[in-house]
Amino acid sequence: MSERRIRPKSTQRKSKKKQPRSLLLTLGGAALLVIGGSVAFLLLQGDQKSGPLPLGAKVVPQDVMLSVTLSTEANQWQQLAKFGTTTSQKSWGQRIQTFENRVLEPYGLSYADNIRPWSANQVTMALLPPTVESVEFQSQQATVWVVPIRDQGQFEQKFKQKLLTSASQVDKRTYKQIDIHEFDAEDGKRYGFATLEDRWLVFTEADTPINAVVDTHKGKPALADVPRYQDALKEIESENAIARVYVNVPIAAAQMSRVPLSPASKERIQDVQAIGATVRLVEDGLRFKAISWLHPEAKETLKAKNEAKDIAKNLPQDTLMMASGGNFQQVWRDYAQGNIAKLVFPLNPKAWNDDLNQRTGVDFNNQFVNWMDGEFLSALVPSQDPEGQGVGVVLMAKAKDRATANQAFQALDDAMRDRFDFLVAESKIDNKTVITWKVPPGLPIASHGWLDNDVAFLTFGAPIANRLLQPPKENLTQAAGFKAATDSDLDPNNGHFFVDMPRMLGLLETNPLLPKLTSETTKVMQGIETIGVTTAIQNEWSTRYDIHVKLKKRS
């Protein structure tokens, strides 16, 4: 490999103070934005036989923030228990048993003895957001449990009478001709339960939350009445699903946003009706079928273009994580205009672009985004250093106008050299030109070039250009783990996401520059081998996702 220094256009020294560290933070923000933002974009973009609606959908209020309907078939959960590590199993188990420990056990009740004998084969948990009427009692989301009653006699004997006699004091009141029993539990909260038509047990916090369920039973809109809800379920229905999930996007966004939403962002989010998913247990883990859909009154509709093809073949098979899409320009502009991805990765593209422009004189929106209107990806690729700790971030994009792209890269090179005194060097790898930025004493920090006639790449961090330009014996799309994780009938599609979890966790633990996960999150992630996502725009109002989570099997 040969190398020569690219001479500056002018020998005049710039008087501005050099800021290599702050500039790298700005450039690093771009890499994180593309990785985090495109993953979030994939996940939030927003004739099989139609399975029945979740039974609880008929009495859960329509303004529910989150609804999860779980199968109560014991054998499915016993199979799931074979997966994960000891620590991840403990973490999951604690979450599953929270309701039983806090509410049932203090009164000598258990799910197995006092609920399973009379209930149907599913139970629905829903989160109701605080309302103007409920805020005095309910500052946080209220959890509602809806259990379909299969055997009324067993229900009366094993649950209702048992609970009424075990609680120290149970108050009874009537709301819209429905009897509601309320009591103070040992967790300090006041709970209430009611039966509706002898068909459903509703158990939730007292006062406003349980009243809202009764209001729904009496005629107010229910989850089952959400626009396009039943049509969306037909697209994702899976036999033997262990869970069915519904997320009310506008309400969830308002409740969970970590950054203030602009009026434009709020308006765009209101166009998104919801996200739904079914979860199925498979031989090596879990498979999700998910769908997001727009409100019928949405001002904008989706463009059914699924243009992602084979850009991932340019990555080596040991890539740690990648996200790809069909059109970077569309992703960037949607994100900048208030895409829901901002809720997951709150970086402001305009502020970032303005900062880059101020520091370098380069306008990313006008000089780069305009030609990045094709396939793209971002990825974390390990270097081949002896210690095996180095990792580089790579961004790739197809360019329909290579001349314009070269002008943009030249402007960026000039800024690195003239404003920040970086060494901008040209070298050859397999007869392909690579431009490398170096800081004293010759440490490479970034590089860019072309893989072929229309795929440009830009790397940060550990030097990995040689891994991209020298074709690997096996590329990522040929690797067994990637193929299994992204196996899908969504063809054509609009992109993929993939992560090798054990190696990614190892990197997070050993690399001081990367963010650290909480201990609880790490415990759950340790039970996962790979995650793969494939997405495709179905029509003008819905986007589909196939998600495969491969879990470790317990020994």
**Percent of the chain clearing pLDDT 90 (strictly above):** 45
- Looking at residue 6, its pLDDT comes to 54
Encoded tokens for 329:
């320009």
The span from the CA of 500 to the CA of 519, in Å, is 19
Which one, of 418, 523, 416, lies nearest residue 460 by Cα?
416
- Looking at residue 397, its pLDDT comes to 95
Contact 318, 384 (CB under 8 A): no
* Phi, psi torsion values for 413, nearest 5 degrees: -60, -45
Residue 181: burial class (beta carbons within 10 Å; 0-12, 13-18, 19+): buried
State the DSSP string of 275-312: EEEEEEEETTEEEEEEEEEE-TT-SS-------B-SGG
In this predicted structure, which of 80-84, 309-313, 492-496 has the lowest mean pLDDT? 80-84
Residue 513: burial class (beta carbons within 10 Å; 0-12, 13-18, 19+): exposed
Which one, of 120, 127, 74, 93, lies nearest residue 281 by Cα?
74
The span from the CA of 254 to the CA of 295, in Å, is 17
Contact 236, 53 (CB under 8 A): no
- Looking at residue 82, its pLDDT comes to 76
Residue 112: burial class (beta carbons within 10 Å; 0-12, 13-18, 19+): exposed
| 450-462 CB burial, b ≥16 within 10 A, e <16 | bbeeebbbbbbbb
What is the 8-class DSSP label of residue 78?
Answer: H
In this predicted structure, which of 307-321, 343-357, 428-442, 472-486 has the lowest mean pLDDT? 343-357
- Its pTM stands at 0.82
Judge whether residue 400 has pLDDT over 90.
Answer: no
Averaged pLDDT, 134-144 = 60
- Looking at residue 8, its pLDDT comes to 44
Averaged pLDDT, 166-189 = 85
- Looking at residue 271, its pLDDT comes to 85
Contact 20, 328 (CB under 8 A): no
| Angle at 38 (CA atoms; ends 33, 40), nearest 5 degrees | 100
Residues 6+ apart with CB under 8 A from 141: 65, 66, 127, 128, 129, 130, 255
Angle, helix 349-360 to helix 402-420, in steps of 10 degrees:
60
Judge whether residue 342 has pLDDT over 70.
Answer: no
- Looking at residue 50, its pLDDT comes to 33
pLDDT, tens digit (0-9, with 9 covering 90-100), for 251-263: 888 776 666 666 7
Round the average pLDDT of the chain to a whole number and report it.
82
Judge whether residue 206 has pLDDT over 50.
Answer: yes
CA-to-CA separations, 234 to 66, 111, 514, 545, in angstroms, rounded: 19, 31, 41, 14
The span from the CA of 482 to the CA of 250, in Å, is 33
pLDDT, tens digit (0-9, with 9 covering 90-100), for 526-552: 889 999 999 999 989 999 999 999 998
Radius of gyration from C-alpha coordinates of the chain: 27
Judge whether residue 327 has pLDDT over 80.
Answer: yes
Which one, of 506, 404, 501, 396, lies nearest residue 459 by Cα?
396
- Looking at residue 345, its pLDDT comes to 57
The span from the CA of 41 to the CA of 33, in Å, is 11
Comparison of pLDDT for 217 and 430, the residue scoring more? 217
The structural domains of the chain, with segments of one domain joined by +, span 3-7+19-43+302-511, 72-221
Half-sphere exposure of 152 (CA within 13 A, CB side): 6
- Looking at residue 459, its pLDDT comes to 96
The span from the CA of 379 to the CA of 32, in Å, is 10
